[in-house]
Amino acid sequence: MTEKLVIIGNGMAPGRMLEELFEKAPGAYDVTIFNAEPRVNYDRIMLSPVLSGEKSYADIVIHDEAWYATNGVTLLKGARVTQIDRANRIVTAADGRTAAYDKLVIATGSSPIIIPVPGHQLPGVLAYRDLDDVDRMLEIARRGGRAIVIGGGLLGLEAAYGLKRQGMEVTVIHLMPTIMERQLDPPAAYILKKALADRGIDIITKANTKAILGTDKVEGIELEDGRVIAGEMVVMAVGIRPNAGLARDAGLTVNRGIVVDDGMATSDPDIYALGECAEHRGICYGLVAPLYESARALADRLSGGAADYQGSVTNTKLKVTGINLFSAGDFAEAPDREEIVLRDASAGVYKRLVLKDNRIVGTVLYGDTADGSWFFDLMKKGSDVSAMRDTLIFGQSFQGGVPLDPMAAVAALPDDAEICGCNGVCKGKITSTITAKGLTTLDGVRAHTKASASCGNCTGLVEQLMKLTLGDRYNPAAVVPMCGCTDLGHDDVRRLILAKGLKTIPAVMQELEWKTSCGCAKCRPALNYYLVCDWPDEYADDYQSRFINERVHANIQKDGSYSVVPRMWGGVTSAAELRAIADVVDKFDVPMVKVTGGQRIDLLGIQKEDLPAVWADLGKAGFVSGQAYAKGLRTVKTCVGTDWCRFGTQDSTGLGIRLEKFMWGSWTPAKLKLAVSGCPRNCAEATCKDIGVICVDSGFEIHFAGAAGLEIKGTEVLGMVRTEDEALEYIVALTQMYREQGRYLERIYKWAKRVGLDEIRRQIMDDADKRRSYFERFVFSQTFAQVDPWSERVSGKDKHEFSPMAVARLSEAAE
């Protein structure tokens, strides 16, 4: 006979418990849920991404209406239970609805603590607990201003980051000397504070709030030391308190939370407590992983089993984009404890392991958290680490001297190693589900195992497991299509263009089954580049698939005018050239003349109709297009080298000019900027360029894969060559390799990261045949590419581009 199971509360813990229960004992219970919130069950730990705008409410729903219907669950929304009648086994809600039970689960969760300082009831004082709070925050954030977050713990910092992302100024007030002191040691807290400050979040530590100011809404706060901070919103994120009042009124044993045994039963054997309202062995948990573990135990008990919940060892990750932080266990210093610390300030890495009796008891990782789950696993199992102590800090893949192969590290994990901390999913569950259900996509694995379905921090690990289990059948590249017009990724498209001999955009779209008639603004320029690169002699460049700048050989500005940058080879110019530029400026009334970062001169504010005439005048002075607009070779920046400089070791100016004259006109996946410095003092700043050369006495050190834009990255060394001729050949070969393999808009440093520096060095430095063939393909391509686009247009090409089709007077219409 079906028993009646009543659940008070509809959060994540009872939701997970029911999933397990329906799997273990389908149909055993007639389930009724009382839910005080007017919603279905959603993923509370994902509130931060909703606040920061990275996810929406729909993304974080765990159980939709259909789930309740399918499983025959009666969900009473907006029903707050006010009484449990243990004698008659009936619960009653505030609105009068009642339900009789055979088994009752109390999952009333917790409430945020609001510090009762003066002003705490003003509108604009918020907690950070549920979707209503997030909605109110977003409403205030739309008006801008400053948000003050009280509490520099995990939740407070995530709230601060989310509000910053929503455009508010943010100040965090924290009572303790360092932030997140329960999870982080002071050095990690310091790095984190700095990283948050870089994101524009002010953090005031050792600060106690005296009062919240304002008359009818929040206007700011006053600290104990008298400081006043103005703001439009105060978010209290100082902690939570278990909601145990209902249980206390019903006469159940209550401490801080509702006291439960290892079977999650309260002092009444037919009543259980689950989630943040429960207290197990003296601990009230607030993180999702332990709640899910206890949910599993309860589901087992309710289906007739005898599982015991043993308590949990927890770990923490901060959900702030771009900050990798992992913390687990206890890391306070004590006489019987030892620590291992690794710091790499330039890479922003800090790792600390705390050992006791040769066992890990605490872990803090900042910057590089890849080994978090491995350390956590060693800690949970209490493994003796003395055998690998010397290299322990370098992580799992370093043990036994094996090379750093992430796949090997994942392969080495035992089946019971936890992969997804949020949902408590271990490796064996993921691999067996992939095999049993024939899963091939990340979404499929998420749907069936819940791994990586919450905060997403373990996505990389899950993908590696898929790769491990499926081998070549798992192709993550296929998951990222070029655009909405195709399911194929860039690499597949490039491969198929060559394999099938596709030589026009319509042919590519037809053969590769494009879903749109003529592509979109994302795929057309990419395809045009791939075809230009792969068939330089046969493909007719499709100007209608080029971005406007490459179509009219100038850079469009915000007002629809254009800027014009003529080439100055290696940044060297002359009186005649400067005079010609000055004449153009006068004749066309050019509003602004500016020296660029690439050692040449930019003429800004030229009307489109004037472009051909401007180019004609510049052409007469010997100028060609500087291609300052192109996904192609831009500038070669140089210093004055041995010609003038007392430190110069080689003719850097000469090499720069030679490179520019050799390579101009070539199209590349993204812009390509070069520089040549005549000595290691590096005045041409070659070590943040796409390709750079540092001249030394013994020859030329070739660098590549630098960046100084959205990202800042020093170059990597490709290798050293002895002569200028070699330098040219190696650089050209490298460029051609990038041209053939890069994805459209992928800068050389991203390409290099993807294919691997060693592979590039092997092909360019060590394999002379390969290098020579790259070089020759580039030279062949240049015979078609080195046509000055300006002089072409001066002589009439694409005339239609530069003049209006007609001029209509409005009065004509009346005639």
Partner 1 sequence: MSWVTIGRLEDIPPRGARCVDTPEGRIAVFRTADNSVFAMEDSCPHKKGPLSQGIVHGASVTCPLHNWVISLESGAAQGADEGQVRTIPVRNDNGILRLDLTELRVAAE
Q: Does 57 bind partner 1 (CB under 8 A)?
A: no
**DSSP symbols for 632-654:** BEEEEEE--HHHH-SS--S-HHH
Contact (CB, 8 A) for 650 and 641? yes
Q: Counting contacts by CB under 8 A, is residue 306 touching partner 1?
A: no
547 binds partner 1 (CB under 8 A): yes
> Residues 1, 87, 306, 806: which binds partner 1 (CB under 8 A)?
806
Q: Is 789 in the site for partner 1 (CB under 8 A)?
A: no
Q: How far is the CB of 508 from partner 1 (least distance, A)?
A: 14
Question: Of the listed pieces 195-203, 289-297, 330-338, 552-560, which binds partner 1 according to CB under 8 A?
Answer: 552-560
- Please name the residue that has the structure tokens 């893949």: 397
> Considering beta carbons, is residue 175 or 613 the nearer one to partner 1?
613
Rounded least distance, CB 485 to partner 1, Å: 9
The C-alpha atoms of residue 176 and residue 421 are separated, in whole angstroms, by 28
Residue 356 CB coordination number (10 Å): 13
The reply on whether position 710 binds partner 1 by CB under 8 A is no
Q: Which is nearer to partner 1, 182 or 800 (CB)?
A: 800
Contact criterion met (CB below 8 Å) for 71 and 128: no
User: Which residues in 493-532 contact partner 1 (CB under 8 A)?
Assistant: 516-521, 524-525
Burial-class residue 801 by CB neighbours within 10 Å (0-12, 13-18, 19+): middle
779, β-bridge pairs: none
**H-state helical runs in 149-283:** 154-165, 186-198, 245-249
Distance CA 662, CA 202 (A): 51
Q: How far is the CB of 813 from partner 1 (least distance, A)?
A: 4
Measured from the CB atom, the residue of 319 and 524 that comes closer to partner 1 is 524
CB of 223 to partner 1, least distance (A): 41
* Identity of the residue, 53 or 123, whose beta carbon is nearer to partner 1 in the bound complex: 53
814 binds partner 1 (CB under 8 A): yes
The DSSP symbol for 417 reads: -
The verdict on 812 binding partner 1 (CB under 8 A) reads yes
Q: Which of 424, 410, 191 is CA-nearest to residue 297?
A: 424
Closer Cβ to partner 1, 506 or 622, answer by number = 506
Report yes or no: 294 and 264 within 8 Å, Cβ to Cβ.
Answer: yes
Q: Are 228 and 142 in contact (CB under 8 A)?
A: no
Query: Which of residues 186 and 484 has its CB atom nearest to partner 1 in the complex?
Result: 484
Q: Which residue from 556, 604, 696, 757 is in contact with partner 1, where contact means CB under 8 A?
A: 556
Task: Compute and round to an integer the Cα radius of gyration of the chain.
Answer: 33
Measured from the CB of residue 559, what is the shortest distance to partner 1 in angstroms?
Answer: 8
544 touching partner 1, by CB under 8 A:
yes
- The answer to whether the beta carbons of residues 661 and 581 sit under 8 Å apart is no
Window of 335-343, 542-550, 688-696, 703-711 that interacts with partner 1 by CB under 8 A:
542-550
Check binding of 138 to partner 1 (CB under 8 A).
no
What is the nearest approach in angstroms of partner 1 to the Cβ of residue 525?
7
> CA 766 to CA 774: how far, in whole Å?
13
Instruction: Name the one range near partner 1 by CB under 8 A: 21-29, 273-281, 540-548, 678-686.
Output: 540-548
Task: Enumerate residues 77-96 that contact partner 1 by CB under 8 A.
Answer: none
Q: Which is nearer to partner 1, 606 or 718 (by Cβ)?
A: 606
Residue (449 or 545) nearer to partner 1, CB: 545
Q: Report the nearest approach of partner 1 to the CB of residue 619 (Å).
A: 23
Count of positions (residues) in the chain: 815
Asked if 436 touches partner 1 (CB under 8 A), the answer is: no
Q: Which is nearer to partner 1, 586 or 815 (CB)?
A: 815
Q: Give one word for 239, left, alpha or beta, with left for phi > 0 and alpha for psi -120 to 50.
A: left
613 or 720: CB nearest partner 1: 613
Residue 545 in contact with partner 1, rule: CB under 8 A? yes
Closest distance to partner 1 from the beta carbon of 539 (Å): 17
Q: Any contact of residue 804 with partner 1 (CB under 8 A)? A: yes
Using CB under 8 A, which of the segments 114-122, 281-289, 567-575, 801-809 binds partner 1? 801-809
Answer yes or no whether residue 800 interacts with partner 1 by CB under 8 A.
Answer: yes
Q: Which of 345, 499, 575, 813 is the binder for partner 1 (CB under 8 A)?
A: 813
How many residues belong to the site for partner 1 (CB under 8 A)?
32
Give the count of alpha carbons within 13 A of 68, CB side only: 21
- 548 touching partner 1, by CB under 8 A: yes
Nearest in space to 76 (alpha carbons), one of 54, 57, 59, 99: 99
Is 49 a residue that touches partner 1 (CB under 8 A)? no
Burial class (CB in 10 A: 0-12, 13-18, 19+), 756: exposed
User: Please, what is the minimum distance in Å from the beta carbon of residue 522 to partner 1?
Assistant: 9
Joined tokens for residue 249? 């009124």
Q: Is 58 in the site for partner 1 (CB under 8 A)?
A: no
Q: Which amino acid is at 123?
A: P
User: What is the Cα 51 distance to its own chain's centre?
Assistant: 16
Q: What is the spatial distance between Cα 622 and Cα 576, in angstroms, rounded to a whole number?
A: 10
| Contacts for 205-209: CB closer than 8 Å, 24+ residues apart | 205/152, 205/174, 205/176, 205/177, 205/178, 205/179, 206/174, 206/175, 206/176, 206/177, 207/173, 207/174, 207/175, 208/175, 209/115, 209/117, 209/150, 209/173
CB-wise, 646 or 800, nearer to partner 1? 800
Question: Is 796 an interacting residue with respect to partner 1 (CB under 8 A)?
Answer: no
Chain residues binding partner 1 by CB under 8 A are 516-521, 524-525, 543-549, 552, 556, 558, 560, 800, 804-815
